[in-house]
Structures are given as C-alpha cells and as structure tokens.
Amino acid sequence: MSTGKLPILVQQTYNGIKKIIELGDYDDHGQLPSENILSERLNVSRATIRTALAKLEYDGVIKRIHGKGTFIREKSINLETSLQEKWDFIPMLEENGRKVKIELLGIKQRTAGTNDANLLNVRNTTEIIEITRLYLADGQPVIYSRNIFSKSFLNKSADPILMNYQCTAYELFQDYFTEHAESSLTDLLPVLPNEIVAEKLQIESSTPILLFKDFFITKGEHILLAGENYMHDKLLKLRFLSNPV
C-alpha cells in the first residue's frame, strides 16, 4: 500500500473545514453546516467537500450520520504517518524473514449500504465489490484485509471473480480499472478487533492491534478504493523510513 499528499484543492478544503470547526461554527449539537453551505462558503464543488469530509472522518475529527448530517467527534487519539514510497505488505512481511501467502476469503458484489457508501462517497444503492483477504506469514495469520470499490470503475472485460488479488492496489488499478490513483492516504490507528477480525487473526478480542485505513484517490478527486487492513503487529517488526522534504 502507499500514501501521498492530498490533491491541493482537497487539502485546502480540508483545512478550511477544520478552520470552521476550530472557530466553533456548528450548532449546539455539534452539527456542521450542510454540504451545500460548505460548498458555497469554500467555493468548491460538493464532490470536493465530500472527499475532504471523508478524510476528516478517517482522521476521527467528524462523524457522518446518514439522514442527519455531519457532526463533530469528541477528541480522540489518531496516529497518522506519511510514507514517501509505495507501501506494500508483501515485501514488508518478507523483510521480516517470513514466507508470505495471501488467502482470498471472499468476493462480494452488492449495494454499498450506508457505511460503505460514506467511505466511498457514493450513493447507498451503488454497486460495489468487497474483497476480503488474509495475509499469512509462515502459515500464521498476521493481516486481515478488506477492500471496497465501485463496480463502475472496472474495465468492461474485468470479472471480479477471476481477477488476481495477489498484488498491490496499484497493480490492481493498472490491470483492471478504467482510472488510476493519483494519490492516496493512509491512517495508522490502534484498535481492538471485532469478532470477525479476531477469529481470522486467531487472537482474543481484547488484543490490541493496528489498523491501516487507506483511501486511493483519482485525479478527479473520486475515491477509487477504500481499504481496512488489521495487523497483528506483535508478530512483526515495524520500521518507517521517510526522507525530509
């Protein structure tokens, strides 16, 4: 996986909305102005507003409730890191001296529903593809991965069932998508696993793990793919190297 800077207009919009929050420009219930109002105030499109809001939600600054609006979250701890090179779990695991295998758990085609529609900034009725995978290191499960994307981004000849998922996200875009990612975002968060993740990683639900949350963004500022990667970091050595800008 990889991460990069936000497109300039989205970054400016992100900063603008954060400024609105810092100035306390929301109602007594913590609700922000509507997307239409934010669009007019910041002089950008609603698509740009939605992308900036998606990043703010990933950062834990806001929460979006379907049918009600966008609300300020109580302050929470969020560890965010920027990686200058392409992030890929396979070489990371191999650098730990492990033999890597990716097990495909499931491929689903369905309507997005509320939560995934918010992640991708699409309608609830949008047809999406959900891919779940398990990364094994020397036979031990270490990463549970869930990726979602709109079916409309696939080439007409691409069959989700037959696609190769033993690859990076960028290779997936190159081989099967009509658009490519111009930038991406990765948040690194400490979490407790839900029941499904705990079962797949063969750990107790009280075991702290790391969650990598990814957005891959097109040149037109649409979210091409969203990913959630749960890592049992106690089995791995993590090291981040970045170069000063």
Q: What is the pLDDT of residues 145-184, one digit of tens each?
A: 999 999 999 999 999 988 888 777 778 888 999 998 888 8
The CATH code of domain 8-77 reads 1.10.10.10
Q: Is the pLDDT of residue 244 over 50?
A: no
- Is the pLDDT at 242 greater than 60? The verdict is no
- Give me the pLDDT at residue 238, please: 56
- Give tens-digit pLDDT for 63-107: 888 778 888 875 433 333 333 333 467 766 776 567 888 899 999
pLDDT at 84: 32
Q: Which of 175, 176, 172, 152 is nearest to 216 (CA)?
A: 172
> What is the pLDDT at residue 97?
66
Judged by average pLDDT, the poorest of 48-52, 119-123, 178-182, 183-187 is 183-187
How many whole angstroms separate alpha carbon 57 and alpha carbon 218? 19
d(CA 124, CA 154): 19
pLDDT digits (tens, 9 = 90+) for 33-49: 999 999 999 999 999 99
Flag whether pLDDT at 197 surpasses 90. Answer: yes
pLDDT tops 90 at residue 108: yes
With 90 as the cut, is the pLDDT of residue 133 above it? Answer: yes
Sequence spans of domains, the chain: 8-77, 80-235
Instruction: Pick 80-235's CATH classification: 3.40.1410.10, 3.30.360.10, 3.90.950.10, 3.90.600.10.
Output: 3.40.1410.10
Q: Which of 48, 5, 45, 41 is nearest to 23 (CA)?
A: 41
What is the C-alpha to C-alpha distance for residues 232 and 213, in angstroms, rounded to an integer?
A: 15
Q: What tens digit of pLDDT does each residue of 4-16 get? A: 456 789 989 999 9
User: Which alpha helices (H) appear in the chain, and where do they start and end?
Assistant: 8-22, 35-42, 46-58, 89-95, 113-120, 169-176, 195-201
Average pLDDT score, the chain:
82
Report the percentage of the chain scoring pLDDT > 90.
Answer: 40
134 contacts 200 by C-beta, under 8 angstroms:
yes
Minimum mean pLDDT range among 118-122, 161-165, 182-186, 214-218: 182-186
Mean pLDDT for the stretch of residues 189-202: 94
Measured distance CA(242)–CA(3) in Å, rounded: 12
Q: Given the structure tokens 């981004």, which residue do they identify?
A: 153
